[in-house]
Structure 1
Amino acid sequence: MTPLAPALREVRAVVFDTDGVITDSAKVHAAAWKVAFDDYLRAHPPADPDQRHPFDVRDDYLRHVDGKSRLDGAAAFLAARGIDTSEETVRTVAEAKERLFTARLRDQGVDAYPGTVRLVRALRAAGVPRAAASASRHAGELLSRAGVLDLFDALVDGGEAARLGLAGKPQPDLFLEAVDRLGVAADRAAVVEDALAGVEAGRRGGFALVVGVDRAAGPDTGARLLRHGADIVVRDLGELCAGGEPK
């Protein structure tokens, strides 16, 4: 019996987002964004009093910054609050977030989700190539710290995206580059994502299967992933294994 659930048995490669899918680092990103945005909101309150409330680590994070590059995420949130989105302002907030994230990563470290590790090992046992992709320049470091970098055949991170001039999510460039490095066409591959922009990128890229991971498990987060392009939504990637841990 194959260790893969039926949804994955026809795909020939799988591309995994990193933060929130492979590693439990999305919460570290969200915490760093909250401090950076809240500090900026206090120092430069929006003209509209209704827009002065603090950054919400669930709703604002998912809606505006999850899955995007630092600059794109900062610009999206600031625009939503009616704040100046000049290059200088966006870069100031993004750089503050980067300093906070780096410090938290150094102090706390990250872990890989056990269900994800189980699925990646099942794919490896089945001979299915695997790539990790991320808008973050820290992806390789995150995977190394979590002890799972060697489980992937390719990695495309934010540094590579910048070098190659790849558009950010919801454009599919990052995922298309990753699957190309695996030597498989997108219409024969799957994308696994927890971000709204990410599942939309998978859909735009013409991938055979787009899997949404609902870590937030909110009242409507799964439905939102489906609306943005996911074919199926799971709470944990272990759900996509069948027959237990591959030997």
Structure 2
Amino acid sequence: MTATGVPDWTTYKAVLFDLDGVVTPTALVHMRAWAEMFDAYLATRPAEEAQAPFTDADYHTWVDGKPRYDGVRDFLASRGIHLDESEVIRLGDEKNRRVNEVLERDGVEAYPGSVRLIDHLGGLGIKQAVVSSSANAPTVLRAAGLLDRFETIVDGNVARELGLPGKPNPDTFLYAAQVLGADAASSVVLEDAVSGVAAGRAGHFGLTIGVDRGAGDALLAAGADVLVQDLAQLIPADAPGATEARR
């Protein structure tokens, strides 16, 4: 880090971005889809269970950043519910269907500050990857016009094909760094989810930056080295366009 709190990007070889909530505001789409799916399911449970609705806190604690079926299992386990694997898959796929409906209907626009940081890093020749638990990452990046900005995308499909455990395990980040010709010490992780920050810490990356889209101090508690509200804060003040980026 420099004296101004901005990373000295030239000391790193690779930057690994989570997608939803870091590059695009699609974390909100996922949150709504999870809530709709879980609330519909909880309404079918026996009345004597008196299940409360799915909350934002549930999302951040049990679901955010994890592979889809892990999120289903972990949230339901928090309510004392344990289902057969076929039912876990059915619920996860229903959530994904709802997300795809919203993306197809509404499209997606990336956070302006995130695009500016991506452009800044590209100008420095630093390799960049998206590392997302979502299976929709290429679709989201294509809709946002950013698919060609990243050298590799390690999403839920890639993780499943390679047998890589998802966040909070560091394996998907470590694999992305390897693809980019870097190691953990020379790579930066950018994450808005507690599970993703925990993965960055577990992988011993050179820098793990928490992006506060609602998780707040929980990201620091999980091991974030730095906490920002907008990725434009990570652009040096003397960089071209930095003044505009910080407005």
Taking structure 1 as the reference length, what is the TM-score of the superposition?
A: 0.91
Residues 123-175 of structure 1: CA deviation (Å, up to 9, x unaligned): 11111111111111110110010001111111111111111000011001110
Taking structure 2 as the reference length, what is the TM-score of the superposition?
A: 0.91
Q: CA, structure 1 residues 69+45, in 2 after alignment: closer, same or farther (shift >3 Å)?
A: farther
Identity, % of aligned positions: 45
Residue number in structure 2 paired with 1:68:
66
Runs of 4+ in 1 over 4 A off after TM superposition: 45-48, 244-247
Whether 1:55 and 2:49 are equivalent positions in the alignment is no
Whether 1:101 and 2:99 are equivalent positions in the alignment is yes
Residue number in structure 2 paired with 1:228:
222
Alignment of 1:1-247 (within 5 A): 6-9=6-9, 10-45=11-46, 48-49=49-50, 52-56=51-55, 58-216=56-214, 221-242=215-236, 243-245=238-240
Alpha-carbon deviation of 1:45? 4.4
User: What is the SS of the residue equivalent to 2:92?
Assistant: helix
Residues 46-87 of structure 1: CA deviation (Å, up to 9, x unaligned): 8543xx11111x211111111111100111110011112321
Structure 2: segments with no counterpart, 5+ residues: 243-247
Residues 193-246 of structure 1: CA deviation (Å, up to 9, x unaligned): 000000000111110100000012xxxx32110111110110010000123545
In structure 2, C-alpha distance between the alignment counterparts of 1:215 and 1:245, rounded to whole Å: 26
* Structure 2 residue identity aligned to 1:87: E
Alpha-carbon deviation of 1:96? 1.4
Q: CA, structure 1 residues 100+246, in 2 after alignment: closer, same or farther (shift >3 Å)?
A: same
User: What is the SS of the residue equivalent to 1:77?
Assistant: helix
Indicate the structure whose relative CO is greater, using CA pairs within 8 Å and at least 6 residues apart: 1
Task: Kindly indicate whether the alpha-carbon contact (under 8 Å) linking 1:11 and 1:189 is maintained by their aligned counterparts in 2.
Answer: yes
User: What is the SS of the residue equivalent to 1:132?
Assistant: strand
* Structure 2 residue identity aligned to 1:25: T
Structure 1: segments with no counterpart, 5+ residues: none
Q: How many residues in Structure 1 have an aligned counterpart in Structure 2? A: 238
Alpha-carbon deviation of 1:13? 1.1
* Structure 2 residue identity aligned to 1:36: M
Q: CA, structure 1 residues 45+80, in 2 after alignment: closer, same or farther (shift >3 Å)?
A: farther
Q: CA, structure 1 residues 245+207, in 2 after alignment: closer, same or farther (shift >3 Å)?
A: same
Q: CA, structure 1 residues 46+78, in 2 after alignment: closer, same or farther (shift >3 Å)?
A: farther
Task: Kindly indicate whether the alpha-carbon contact (under 8 Å) linking 1:156 and 1:174 is maintained by their aligned counterparts in 2.
Answer: yes
Alpha-carbon deviation of 1:6? 3.4
